[in-house]
Amino acid sequence: MTVQEIMERAGMKETSLSIAWIKDAFHLIQSNNKEHTKVQKSNIIDGIRKYPFPADMIALKSISVKDTTDSKYKKIRRLVGEPTVTEDTDPE
């Protein structure tokens, strides 16, 4: 639904006031809902490509990998664009 459709349904004529009220409504919704986060660790050394995600998961916030040189978890950055995929044509 667009702002214009909301304005038409509410009978409003001022766009800036409508946008301010919509933003206030979003802030109210966000402040009333508590965010529940869980941490899950999986071992990727086993060569498994399917990782168990919780059934109630809505969004994946970050992925970290343990660096064995200093035993710290390092975050993996998100890709901005599509990854470059090359096809291996070597038969060996």
Q: What is the pLDDT of residue 85?
A: 66
Q: Is residue 49 part of a domain?
A: yes
Q: Does 58 fall in a domain?
A: yes
Asked, for residue 82, whether it belongs to a domain, the answer is no
90 within a domain of the structure (yes/no): no
Is residue 31 one of the residues assigned to a domain?
yes
pLDDT in tens, the chain (92 residues): 888 898 899 898 999 999 999 999 888 887 777 777 777 777 666 666 677 777 877 777 778 888 888 888 888 877 677 767 666 666 55
Q: How many CB atoms lie within 10 A of CB 91?
A: 4
Extract the tokens encoding 39.
């941490």
Longest dimension (CA), the chain: 70
Question: Which conformational region is residue 85 in: left (phi greater than 0), alpha (psi within -120 to 50 degrees), or beta?
Answer: beta
What does the alpha-carbon distance between residue 44 and residue 66 come to, in Å, rounded to a whole number? Answer: 10
> Domain containing 18: what range?
3-75
Residue 26's pLDDT is 87
How far are the Cα atoms of 19, 49, 50 from residue 38, in angstroms, in the given order?
A: 34, 21, 19
Domains of the chain: total: 1
| pTM, entire model | 0.38
What pLDDT is recorded for position 45? 63
